[in-house]
Structure 1
Amino acid sequence: MEVQKFGKQNSRKIMLLPGNMMSWRQFEAVIPLLEKQYHVIAVSTDGYDDTGKTTFTTAEAMAEKLEQYIKEEQDGAIDLVLGESMGGATAGMLFHRQKVKIGAMILSGPQYMNLGMFSWVLTAIVPRSQYNLTKKIQSVDKLPWMLRLYTRGDDQKLLNQFQYVAKNISLATLENATKEALRLYPVIDTFAPDPEAKVAIWYGSNEPNMKKAMQKLKRAYPNAQGHPFVGYGHGDIIGHPDVMARDIIAFMKS
């Protein structure tokens, strides 16, 4: 795990958890817009910290590690945790457990990935495809068809994000991340409804598989704010740091 801290002079704290394949650098463009008002904590989780010495295992295990960090380094409390894409699994577990105080949560692009009896296709093909992609990331000039199908986003903005891909990602990390993506909503289905939870659900209007995700998240968090971004696909919000910062700040103020 790698933790980068910005705006440490500010008292209100935001933790940013990047998506699959990504390091904390995924948030490089939005951090300067947030650190003027907030203490920003950007995390590369295990498996994505560039070292090649750690492996992402489960969202629970990562939440436990972050809880220890928050207790030791952040006085046991964070005002807001934002999980981008797969980072939402760890963010959701951290928020649900409340072993440390997490005031509010934004889930950005928490797609519903379970394909029922065909889920084996994801676990068999996607991690290997992602692993091969990480080995040639700098020379890629167009999105693989599976990634395009999954994101429905702006190709160039997503290609630009390849500069934030973590180094030395193992196949085991990518396999475990895929399993966690499939397990996310069965886990959420076990949560008792929490109408007091301060939650926002961000997604692109072009993003697939969000209707089912919204149904399940609204059951768990009945008063969650649904926040569609018109014309965006999965991950496109990262390419609009001004919009992202504006809406994080607005949510914090609300």
Structure 2
Amino acid sequence: MKFEEMGNMTGKTMMLLPGTCCDWQTNFGNVIDSLSSKYHLICVNYDGFDGSDTIFPDMITVTEKIEKYIKDKHNGRLDAAIGSSLGSSFVGQLVMRENVHIDHAIFGSPDLDQSGKLSAKLQAKLVVPILTGITKSQKKRNKTKEKLKNFFLMDDEMAEKFLNCFSKFKAESIRNEYYTDLITYLDDDIQVDNTTAHFIYAKKMGPKYLKRYKKYFHNPDIREFDMQHEQWLFGGTEYRVPVLKAIDEFMEQ
């Protein structure tokens, strides 16, 4: 795993945890300048997604490595952690396990899907070949690029970066990441003293996710935005700017 620290080194600490099949450079590329001007960022690339020959093991093993880094480098405490999609599962585990402390746990419009092992294996069997196969032919690549652009309102450059990111990683790492995320559960009604769970709720994902956020966390701070899943990270400024403003407001609480 790789941890890179940057930004305003006198500002509040904020860990950035990327989503499925992503490194932080791609996942947070559109917002890194804005965040680094204000916050002391700790950017994480997991095993298997860090440019090394390692393979992503499972969610809990990686969570333990993140906890160790926070303990060793930051005395076991962060002002904030932002999880994008699957990265929010790590934020949830860090809060729930209480081996480290996070004042502001920020969940970036996550799915927080959970399932049994058999269902998770079947889902991985269906999804992983899609994730690993979209760049194997120019026809598939072009088709996927257009879907990304239309769904997230990405520009062409961002869609190309996203596809290049997918193509870098080994199928075994993608499979392990996708599968173990589904079988790594969160408790219901998580509540930790002096920790606030903040949710960026992408309304276009549907109300079942809003119910899920309220199920897993006690009295979460939920901000609603008229966008798709993580569109603030991949779409234009009309999505990015309001969410960045909300994050600043979280940090001032």
- The interval holding the TM-score normalised by the smaller chain is 0.7 to 0.9
The one-letter amino acid paired with 2:228 is G
* 1:85/1:104 CA distance change after superposition, 3 Å: same
Equivalent residues in 2 for 1:1-254, closer than 5 Å: 1-25=1-25, 26-51=27-52, 53-113=53-113, 120-133=121-134, 135=136, 140-143=141-144, 153-157=151-155, 159-162=159-162, 165=165, 168-184=168-184, 187-188=185-186, 190-191=187-188, 193-194=190-191, 196=193, 197-208=195-206, 211-230=207-226, 232-239=227-234, 240=237, 241-254=240-253
Report how far residue 100 of structure 1 moved.
1.7
Q: Work out the CA distance in 2 between the residues paired with 1:193 and 1:108.
A: 17
* 1:167/1:39 CA distance change after superposition, 3 Å: farther
Q: TM-score, normalised by structure 2?
A: 0.82
Q: Work out the CA distance in 2 between the residues paired with 1:86 and 1:97.
A: 17
Q: Work out the CA distance in 2 between the residues paired with 1:203 and 1:99.
A: 27
- Given that residues 95 and 105 in structure 2 are in contact (C-alpha distance below 8 angstroms), is that contact kept between their aligned partners in structure 1? yes
1:195-248 per-position Cα deviation (integer Å, ceiling 9, x unaligned): 75401111322225xx33332331332210222211x11121103443332221
* 1:93/1:137 CA distance change after superposition, 3 Å: farther
* 1:102/1:129 CA distance change after superposition, 3 Å: same
Q: Work out the CA distance in 2 between the residues paired with 1:138 and 1:75.
A: 50
1:91-124 per-position Cα deviation (integer Å, ceiling 9, x unaligned): 2111211212211211112215457886554221
* 1:168/1:162 CA distance change after superposition, 3 Å: closer
Q: Work out the CA distance in 2 between the residues paired with 1:89 and 1:212.
A: 17
Report how far residue 79 of structure 1 moved.
0.7
Gaps of 5+ in 1: none
Report how far residue 192 of structure 1 moved.
5.1
1:111-167 per-position Cα deviation (integer Å, ceiling 9, x unaligned): 15457886554221111211123556998233279x77xx99325357255167266
- Given that residues 120 and 183 in structure 2 are in contact (C-alpha distance below 8 angstroms), is that contact kept between their aligned partners in structure 1? no
Q: Work out the CA distance in 2 between the residues paired with 1:206 and 1:152.
A: 14
* 1:43/1:154 CA distance change after superposition, 3 Å: same
Gaps of 5+ in 2: none
1:65-109 per-position Cα deviation (integer Å, ceiling 9, x unaligned): 011111222232111111100111112111211212211211112
Q: CA RMSD in A?
A: 3.1
Q: Work out the CA distance in 2 between the residues paired with 1:234 and 1:225.
A: 18
The one-letter amino acid paired with 2:165 is V
The one-letter amino acid paired with 2:211 is Q
* 1:131/1:166 CA distance change after superposition, 3 Å: closer
Identity of aligned residues (%): 23
Report how far residue 183 of structure 1 moved.
2.3
- Given that residues 16 and 83 in structure 1 are in contact (C-alpha distance below 8 angstroms), is that contact kept between their aligned partners in structure 2? yes
Q: Work out the CA distance in 2 between the residues paired with 1:63 and 1:120.
A: 21
The one-letter amino acid paired with 1:44 is N
Aligned length: 244
